[in-house]
Structure formats: structure tokens, C-alpha cells
Amino acid sequence: MKKLIVLLSSIATAACVTGYNPTYRFNQIQVVNLSGSSIEDVDVSVVDSEKALSCDEVANNAICNNRFGSRRFPQQGIELRWTHTDGSRKSEVLTPQIPITFHSTIPLRIVMEVNEDGSVNPFFEQDSRTTR
């Protein structure tokens, strides 16, 4: 029994040390404008990926959106550039964390909310699993 406990403890420790690092995929990028007025020259690029998004103008409470075939998400960062309502050019490299509850088999949607103060709230969404 003691050997079994030591073996199970060793396996659990090894799992914690190596970490679980699944490969995620993404198929959509969205920029949500919550700034109070239009934003312009919106550009999004995913680092180490050819996928990007560009919109000339995004009205207040509107979404700039690009949907495409599923691609590997490199987890290296997302660069967002835009002209804010005050006329200043903004640029941020964002690295939001993927929630542990997300399934690596369902593609991610990258969402970035541009707020009134110029801050950006980046996060991921997933469509729910459908079972038949």
C-alpha cells in the first residue's frame, strides 16, 4: 500500500511540475467598441500567425469582426492598434489567459473591448459544445 501511495504521489507531482499545456485553435477575432464614439483605423494581428483584422471605422457599441477557418493559436500575444476618440493613436500587445475550463477541441474567439478611457479588456470566448 505504501508503494502505491508513493507511486500515485510521484505521478501527481510530475503532472503538476510539467504542467498541462494543450494546443488551442482560434477562428474569430472581434473588436467591440465601448468607447462612447467611433474609433478608426482598427488593426489586430495575432503574433506568429498570418491572421489579422482591419476596419476603417467601428461605430460606438459596434463590432469589427473577422471569422475564418480554424488556426492554431500561438499564445504569443495579440497586437491591437487604433485611433481613439480623442485622436490619439493607440497600440497594445495583449496576452489574455485562456480559462482552464475551455476545451482545446473547440476554437476560441478572441474578443477585445475598447473602453472609454482607452483601456482594452481582452478575453476569449468559446461556442458551447453541442452533443447529438
Looking at domain 22-126, which CATH architecture does it have? Answer: Sandwich (2.60)
pTM equals 0.79
Q: What sign does the CA torsion over 42, 83, 32, 126 have?
A: positive
pLDDT value of residue 47: 87
CA distance 85 to 26: 29
pLDDT at position 8 over 70 = no
- The model's pLDDT over 55-104, given as tens digits with 9 standing for 90+, comes to 999 999 999 999 999 999 988 899 999 998 888 999 999 999 999 889 99
Q: What is the pLDDT of residues 12-69, one digit of tens each?
A: 665 555 566 789 999 999 999 999 999 999 999 998 888 889 999 999 999 999 999 9
Report angle CA 36, 40, 43 to the nearest 5 degrees: 120
Q: How far apart are CA 80 and CA 107, in angstroms?
A: 20
Task: Give the per-residue pLDDT at 125.
Answer: 95
Q: How confident is the model at residue 106 (pLDDT cuts 50, 70, 90)?
A: very high
pLDDT value of residue 7: 61
CA distance 3 to 116: 60
Domains of the chain, residue spans: 22-126
